Amino acid sequence: MKKVIQCLVAVLFIQLMVAQEKVDSAMMAAIRTEGWDHSQAKDILWILSDVYGPRLAGSPQYLAAANWAVGKMKEIGLQNAHLESWGPFGKSWELKKFSATMIGRQIQPLISYPKAWSPGLKGRVEADVVYLDADSAGQLDAYRGKLKGKFVLLTKSGDVAAYWKPLAVREADSSLLNMANADAQRSGRRNIRPNEAMRQAALLTYEKWQLLMKENVAAVLTSSYSTRNSGGSVSVAQAYVPNHPDTAYGSPYRVSAQSSKAPLIPPQIEVGAEHYNRLVRLAQKGEKIKLAVELEVTMTAKDEDSYNVIAEIPGGDLKDEVVIIGGHFDSWHGGTGATDNATGSAVCLEAMRILKSIGAAPRRTIRIGLWGAEEEGLLGSAAYVKQHFGTRDSLKPEAEKIAAYFNNDNGSGKVRGMYMQGNEAVRPVFRAWLSPFKDMGATTLSLQNTGGTDHLSFDAVGIPGFQFIQDPIEYETRTHHTTMDLFDRVPEEDLKQAAILMAAFAYDAAMRNEKLPHKPDTRPNRTN
């Protein structure tokens, strides 16, 4: 009975707080009308994906798209629109030409794509295919002196199972209920202590790569086995070489090829699972096969600066305080970065356009931040936070002026609510803010956190940072980091709805008498 009474008291408290939270219904209606009837979100998405995409961090395409975004921000009427450098990122890389064809009893163009920052080849290279089938360091000896100039299949073949579930789904009511009932979870990656078996596997991988670099192979071909790397699509990211496992833990476990400090590596190509499996089977059965590959790239020798894209709507009586909305602007290079994350960038640009179009006069300044190099580890947003706000244990005065940060980066699906990042105090506030949009399906509030997006950079220093809950659609099954991350995979109505919610949350946060409450600092030996 006592627990029931406590629950009832908590419910009544939340209802009271919701009732006290002021929401300008006329302004919410204006945001909805402008965002639904006069949307430019799909047009912005088209420019970012079809015209300028992909937007690989540090590439000429990224810089061209960023300059376009600055121009669009000025056109919208935003103030202080600019590119903000956050320092050297890595080498600039651009793919100029690529083709890969299997030559055997039949000719077969390979479903494949070069990894970012892979070196190129000198002209068209035709060479034998070798499958590096070694399960121990001793078995590597059989390949020494025999790999020079060859195309080497490095990873094991794997089963490509039929996918019986639908590729595209909305969040089910049951999963939304589970999110709403879930407890808060710690954000960030858990440190997993490696066991000896893991060390030996990592050591073998390291030794394989050392052999490949020493032998001067023509290129290394790999494949992963997931829905996203089959059925005609390729899941492709960056070239790298692994560190020695005895030095990897506590430091990066691999060296990414974008760094000017990376060793010279062979070209690296990711192959769709079905085509890769065929190559392995043919090689295992003794069939004589060759590959003919053209791979032309341009890559700088030194690290280049990278940029975030920043602009704002100045506030009124609380103009020194700031609400920030954002998402990452960069993408991988296999598709055009449409769902990851031209959608989030378009949502934020459209939200700012909506607010300017309806003549919104926020009390706090509303700032938009489109971040660079999120795909390489939240680098752009983390650098921005450190430069402007400091670190968790050494905050700058500017950090106290940030009311909230809202992020969009979970694919193309419509907003279903908000991850509260373990901050129970914002529940009644967000409940009131979502109330005008119940008919749009945005009702769920979860204490859970979703990882891997730029809100983590703000949360890491104690700034209230949040990511919207979104329908998955085809994000994890088809588009995330693949050659199918394209304009055609984005539902326009979902994009419009997400922009309306972003504009509403930005405006509501900018109009409150108080900044959003911070969650308790749960680190050891901390008081709140």
Give the model confidence (pLDDT) of 290-324 as tens digits: 999 999 999 999 999 999 999 999 999 999 999 99
Specify whether 321 is located in the same domain as 219.
no
Q: What is the pLDDT of residue 88?
A: 92
Specify whether 378 is located in the same domain as 250.
no
User: Which of 343-367 are b and which e, b meaning 16 or more Cβ less than 10 Å from the residue's Cβ?
Assistant: bbbbbbbbbbbbbbbbebebbbbbb
Domain end point (choices 258, 277, 299): 299
Residue 90's DSSP bridge partners are 304
Q: Residue 307: which of 510, 509, 492, 92 has the closest Cα?
A: 92
Domain end point (choices 299, 322, 345): 299
Domain end point (choices 299, 330, 362): 299
Specify whether 158 is located in the same domain as 64.
no
Specify whether 56 is located in the same domain as 143.
no
Specify whether 53 is located in the same domain as 134.
no
Specify whether 163 is located in the same domain as 277.
yes
Q: Which residue has the higher pLDDT, 127 or 257?
A: 127
In a domain, 180, yes or no: no
Q: What is the pLDDT of residue 116?
A: 98
**Of all residues in the chain, what percent carry a pLDDT higher than 90?**
81
Question: Does the structure show a pLDDT above 90 at 342?
Answer: yes
Confidence of residue 7 (pLDDT cuts 50, 70, 90): very low
Specify whether 212 is located in the same domain as 108.
yes
Q: Residue 271: which of 110, 109, 160, 102 has the closest Cα?
A: 110
Specify whether 63 is located in the same domain as 102.
no
* Non-local CB neighbours of 4 within 8 Å, separated by 6+ positions: none
* Residue that the structure tokens 């810089």 belong to: 63
Tell me how far apart the alpha carbons of residues 341 and 55 are, in angstroms, rounded to a whole number. Answer: 10
Specify whether 118 is located in the same domain as 101.
yes
In a domain, 18, yes or no: no
Q: What is the pLDDT of residue 52?
A: 98
In a domain, 15, yes or no: no
Tell me how far apart the alpha carbons of residues 275 and 273 are, in angstroms, rounded to a whole number. Answer: 6
In a domain, 157, yes or no: yes
Specify whether 371 is located in the same domain as 294.
no
In a domain, 488, yes or no: yes
What is the domain extent for residue 72? 28-89+303-511
Residue 116's DSSP bridge partners are 238
Specify whether 267 is located in the same domain as 412.
no
The structure's pTM equals: 0.93
Specify whether 416 is located in the same domain as 461.
yes
In terms of phi and psi (left: phi > 0; alpha: psi -120 to 50; beta: otherwise), the region of 87 is left
In a domain, 132, yes or no: yes
**Of all residues in the chain, what percent carry a pLDDT higher than 70?**
92
Q: What is the CATH number of the domain that holds 77?
A: 3.40.630.10
Least confident piece of the model among 8-12, 14-18, 320-324, 363-367: 8-12
In a domain, 225, yes or no: yes
Question: Does the structure show a pLDDT above 50 at 478?
Answer: yes
Question: Does the structure show a pLDDT above 60 at 252?
Answer: no
Question: Does the structure show a pLDDT above 70 at 11?
Answer: no
Question: Does the structure show a pLDDT above 50 at 409?
Answer: yes
Confidence of residue 20 (pLDDT cuts 50, 70, 90): confident
Q: Residue 81: which of 308, 307, 309, 311 has the closest Cα?
A: 311
Confidence of residue 527 (pLDDT cuts 50, 70, 90): low
In a domain, 185, yes or no: no
Helices (H) and strands (E) in the chain, counts: 13, 20
Question: Does the structure show a pLDDT above 50 at 12?
Answer: no
Q: What is the pLDDT of residue 118?
A: 97
Q: Tens digit of pLDDT for each residue in 349-390?
A: 999 999 999 999 999 999 999 999 999 999 999 999 999 999
Total structural domains within the chain? 2
Question: Does the structure show a pLDDT above 50 at 208?
Answer: yes
Question: Does the structure show a pLDDT above 60 at 6?
Answer: no
Contact 415, 497 (CB under 8 A): yes
pLDDT, averaged across the chain: 92
Contact 358, 30 (CB under 8 A): yes
